[in-house]
Amino acid sequence: MMTTMIRQCVCVESRAISSLHRHAGTTAVSGGSGGGVLAVVEARRNIAKMLIVVVCMFALCYLPVHLINMLR
């Protein structure tokens, strides 16, 4: 169960990184317009939100296992 969750986290992270690279690539092509920079900032915000959600879900799922091991 834990390995499946870790694999899912890695997949989410790799998708987020590739999304950031995709947005950064459009900035270079856009000719220096301000819209490209805003797209990168928005992409980074979305990645930060996604990372927070992944960390919270990991903590929520792992908390019962951790508590059981502590109480032994």
* Domain coverage including residue 31: 2-71
Cα distance from N-terminal residue to C-terminal residue, the chain: 21
d(CA 11, CA 60): 19
Q: Name the pTM for this structure.
A: 0.50
Question: In the prediction, which pLDDT does 16 show?
Answer: 63
d(CA 17, CA 30): 20
pLDDT range class, residue 32, cuts 50, 70, 90: low
Tens-place pLDDT, residues 9-30: 666 666 766 766 665 555 444 4
